[in-house]
C-alpha cells in the first residue's frame, strides 16, 4: 500500500513526550473504538476507526482548544532513477487521489486534466501511469469543498536524473478542523465533552501494547519533516522500521544493504552477489525487504490558487474508464486503454534519461 505521513518538525524524547501527569492530561476513551490522548507537552492524539491524528492543545480552566496538525501543502512528490525505464517517466498516484473529490494534473504548459475520469474504479492503494515523453514540470491541483490549504495548486520541476515518481495527496478531513472540549467531573469520572461526543478519563486500566505503539508513532511523527530520503520495496511498503501488519519493529537498516549501481536498488548484504543482474528482481510479497528502492523528496517549485468553480468544465482525464463500442458484459463497462499523454506543442520528447549528475539540487 502507498502511504505518506509527514510534516511536524519538532524532535522530542520518546520517554518524556508521552507523560500524562498534569491536570487535564490523560487518556480519554469513548467505548472501545475511539479516544483522545492528552500529553503534558501540549500535544494530543485523536484516534478511532481508520483515524490517527496528532496536534496541539491549550488548556484554560476546564476548556481545551484542540488544533490538529495539517500538512504544509496538499501534494508531495518523491522521485528516483529507475534504470529499467528507457524513455519517458513513470507516475504512481496514491489511492487518495481517487477517493477525496476531484484532483487534477498538468504537464508543462498543456491544459489541466483530471487525474481520474468520473466513475473510475476506486479501491486500489495506488495507480500507475507511464508517460511516453519527459515533461519538465508537473502540476497537481485539488478541487475539494473542505480543502485546508490557502493554495490548492502545487508545481514541481522534475529533476533530470529521476524518471520514477510517487505522488501523494493529503486531502483534508473534518477531523482535522480545530475543535473545543470541556472537562467536567461526573461522580468519580472526569469527562471530556467535544463535538465528537463524550470521552471518559481512564485512571486504572493500562494498555502496554497501545502505549508502546503511541510512543513509537509520536517519535516517527516528530522526525518526518526532517526526512528527505524514503525507502520502499517494489510493492511500495515503506521501510520505516515498523512492520505495520504485526506492529512489531522490523530489522530494516539501510546499513545492512549494498547499492547495486546497475539496477539502482539496495540489495540486502547477505544475499547480494556482485555481477548479478538485479534489474528485474522483485520482492516475493508486501513485507519482503530483500530489495529496496530509495526515493528522494522533490522540492515544491511554486504554489497558487486555481479557480475550478467559474472556469470551464474539465472532462479530459489521465486515467479513463471508457465504455467500448462492443456490447457490454452485464452492467459492467469494458475497460479500455486510458488516454495517451503527448508532449505539448514546441516541447520535444527527450531521448532517454540524462545520466545522473553529482548535484541533485
> Considering only CA atoms, which of 141, 124, 126 is closest in space to residue 75?
141
Greatest extent of the chain over all pairs of C-alpha atoms, in Å: 75
Residue 144's pLDDT is 66
Q: Provide the b/e sequence for 289-317 (b: ≥16 CB within 10 Å).
A: bbbbbbbbebebeebeebebeeeeeeeeb
> What confidence tens digit (pLDDT) does each residue in 156-187 have?
999 999 999 999 998 877 888 899 999 999 99
Decide: 112 and 105 in contact? Cβ < 8 Å: yes
Residue 337's pLDDT is 32
- Residue 145 reports pLDDT greater than 90: no
Residue 278's pLDDT is 96
> What confidence tens digit (pLDDT) does each residue in 27-60 have?
999 988 899 999 999 999 999 877 889 999 999 9
Q: Indicate the fold that domain 26-69+174-224 takes in CATH.
A: Lipocalin (2.40.128)
Residue 220's pLDDT is 76
- Residue 260 reports pLDDT greater than 90: yes
- Residue 150 reports pLDDT greater than 90: no
pLDDT band, residue 264 (cuts 50/70/90): very high
Residue 17's pLDDT is 53
Decide: 229 and 295 in contact? Cβ < 8 Å: yes
Decide: 306 and 153 in contact? Cβ < 8 Å: yes
Return d(Cα 73, Cα 172) in angstroms, integer.
10
pTM score, whole prediction: 0.75
Residue 350's pLDDT is 34
Residue range 328-342: average pLDDT? 38
Bigger pLDDT: 312 or 305? 305
Cα–Cα separations (whole angstroms), residue 153 to 144, 146, 189 = 12, 15, 47
- Residue 330 reports pLDDT greater than 70: no
> What confidence tens digit (pLDDT) does each residue in 216-244 have?
888 877 777 678 899 999 999 888 655 55
- Residue 347 reports pLDDT greater than 60: no
Residue 322's pLDDT is 56
Q: How far apart are the first and last CA of the chain?
A: 29
CATH 2.40.128 in the chain, residues?
Answer: 26-69+174-224
Cell 492530561 belongs to residue: 25
> What confidence tens digit (pLDDT) does each residue in 93-133 have?
998 898 877 899 999 999 999 999 988 988 888 999 999 99
Return d(Cα 275, Cα 313) in angstroms, integer.
54
pLDDT band, residue 204 (cuts 50/70/90): confident
Q: The C-alpha cell of 251 is what?
A: 530489522
Amino acid at each position: 500500500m502507498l502511504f505518506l505521513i509527514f510534516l511536524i518538525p519538532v524532535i522530542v524524547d520518546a520517554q518524556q513526550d508521552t507523560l500524562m501527569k498534569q491536570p487535564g492530561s490523560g487518556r480519554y476513551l469513548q467505548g472501545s473504538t475511539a479516544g483522545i490522548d492528552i500529553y503534558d507537552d501540549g500535544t494530543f492524539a485523536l484516534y478511532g476507526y481508520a483515524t490517527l491524528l496528532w496536534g496541539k492543545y491549550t488548556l484554560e480552566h476546564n476548556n481545551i482548544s484542540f488544533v490538529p496538525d495539517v500538512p504544509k501543502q496538499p501534494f508531495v512528490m518523491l522521485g528516483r532513477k529507475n534504470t529499467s525505464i528507457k524513455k519517458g517517466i513513470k507516475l504512481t498516484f496514491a489511492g487518495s487521489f481517487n477517493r477525496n473529490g476531484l484532483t487534477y494534473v498538468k504537464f508543462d504548459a498543456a491544459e489541466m486534466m483530471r487525474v481520474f475520469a468520473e466513475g473510475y474504479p476506486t479501491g486500489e492503494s495506488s495507480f500507475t501511469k507511464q508517460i511516453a515523453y519527459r515533461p519538465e514540470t508537473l502540476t497537481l491541483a485539488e478541487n475539494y469543498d473542505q480543502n485546508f490549504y490557502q493554495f490548492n495548486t502545487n508545481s514541481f520541476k522534475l529533476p533530470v536524473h529521476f524518471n520514477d515518481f510517487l505522488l501523494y495527496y493529503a486531502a483534508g478531513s473534518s477531523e482535522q478542523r480545530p475543535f473545543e472540549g470541556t472537562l467536567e467531573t461526573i461522580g468519580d469520572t472526569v469527562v471530556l465533552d467535544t463535538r465528537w461526543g463524550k470521552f471518559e478519563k481512564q485512571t486504572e486500566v493500562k494498555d502496554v501494547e497501545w502505549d508502546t505503539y503511541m510512543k513509537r508513532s509520536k517519535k516517527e511523527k516528530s522526525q518526518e519533516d526532517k526526512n528527505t530520503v524514503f525507502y520502499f520495496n517494489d510493492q511500495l511498503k515503506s521501510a520505516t522500521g515498523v512492520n505495520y501488519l504485526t506492529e512489531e519493529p522490523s530489522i530494516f537498516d539501510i546499513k545492512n544493504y549494498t547499492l547495486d549501481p546497475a539496477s539502482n536498488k539496495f540489495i540486502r548484504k547477505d544475499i547480494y552477489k556482485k555481477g548479478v543482474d538485479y534489474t528485474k528482481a522483485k520482492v516475493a510479497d508486501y513485507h519482503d525487504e530483500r530489495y529496496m528502492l530509495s526515493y528522494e523528496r522533490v522540492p515544491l517549485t511554486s504554489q497558487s490558487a486555481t479557480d475550478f468553480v467559474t472556469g470551464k468544465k474539465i472532462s479530459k482525464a489521465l486515467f479513463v474508464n471508457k465504455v467500448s463500442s462492443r456490447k457490454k458484459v452485464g452492467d459492467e463497462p469494458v475497460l479500455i486503454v486510458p488516454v495517451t499523454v503527448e508532449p505539448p506543442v514546441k516541447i520535444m520528447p527527450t531521448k532517454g534519461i540524462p545520466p545522473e549528475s553529482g548535484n541533485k539540487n
